Chain A
Amino acid sequence: GAGVSQSPSNKVTEKGKDVELRCDPISGHTALYWYRQSLGQGLEFLIYFQGNSAPDKSGLPSDRFSAERTGGSVSTLTIQRTQQEDSAVYLCASSLASSNQPQHFGDGTRLSIL
């Protein structure tokens, strides 16, 4: 079956522009996570959606970052007024449920801010 799909795979944009990153999770997965990996760093948690519960936004680095998940499926991560430090690989993962189920990752979006 289809895995987690992310688009675009690469995005180059100018500083100050807004970007939208998309994640299409595995069908039936109720939990969806966004992470990012900056150069030389580990995986940094950004936001977590679980079913219809309010998302855990505790990892979002600033109010320029937001995410939504429509209909419990597709999620969009939006970064407004991008800065150079936003350059990173943004990974999305989904799982059947939280905690004791493995996460399935997409291939990521490589975001470069000029």
Chain B
Amino acid sequence: ILNVEQSPQSLHVQEGDSTNFTCSFPSSNFYALHWYRWETAKSPEALFVMTLNGDEKKKGRISATLNTKEGYSYLYIKGSQPEDSATYLCAFCDSWGKLQFGAGTQVVVTP
């Protein structure tokens, strides 16, 4: 069983503030690292798929970095807005194509 860990479990952010949180994963047999946003009453939505050490991806105010050697990825939200409130999931993908999800970081942005 792989250990994909996300921290913190939850965080509260004031509107306009920036924040970041972590996903740690095994550094062996790495193929890709996925990030998803899961809003309440909706299905998970893909944010990024990262494959290369040092990768940086950006989508609007959300960005992510990847360090495969030490086994971690950061997700950053710049200038948080209430619509950013969601659970953010990371998933480790091995060479067989199977994803192991972390438990998620629940982000609550308050006006």
The winner among A41, A58, A103 for most chain B CB atoms within 10 A is A103
Contact A42 B101 (CB under 8 A): yes
Of the candidate stretches A60-68, A78-86, A94-102, the one touching chain B is A94-102
Contact B49 A100 (CB under 8 A): yes
Contact B100 A108 (CB under 8 A): no
A91 within 8 A of B: yes
The winner among B34, B44, B89, B104 for most chain A CB atoms within 10 A is B44
Contact A108 B43 (CB under 8 A): yes
Q: How far is the CB of A18 from chain B (nearest CB, A)?
A: 25
Closest residue of chain A to B100 (Cβ to Cβ) is A45
A100 CB contacts on chain B under 8 angstroms: 31-32, 49, 51, 93
Given contacts A42-B89, A45-B101, contact A103 B34 (CB under 8 A): yes
**A interface footprint on B6-41 (CB within 8 Å = 1, 0 otherwise):** 000000000000000000000000011010100000
Q: How far is the CB of A41 from chain B (nearest CB, A)?
A: 8
Contact A105 B32 (CB under 8 A): no
Q: How far is the CB of A7 from chain B (nearest CB, A)?
A: 14
Number of A-B contacts (CB under 8 A): 60
B98 CB contacts on chain A under 8 angstroms: 45, 48, 56, 58, 98
Q: How many B residues have CB within 8 A of the partner chain?
A: 24
Closest residue of chain B to A35 (Cβ to Cβ) is B101
A4 CB contacts on chain B under 8 angstroms: 43
* Cα(A102)–Cα(B88), bound, Å: 15
- For chain B residues 39-60, which have a beta carbon within 8 Å of chain A? 42-46, 49, 51
* Cα(A31)–Cα(B34), bound, Å: 16
* Cα(A64)–Cα(B93), bound, Å: 27
Known A33-B99, A105-B45; 11 more pairs at CB < 8 Å: A44-B101, A56-B98, A58-B98, A93-B44, A97-B97, A99-B31, A101-B49, A102-B34, A103-B46, A104-B46, A107-B42
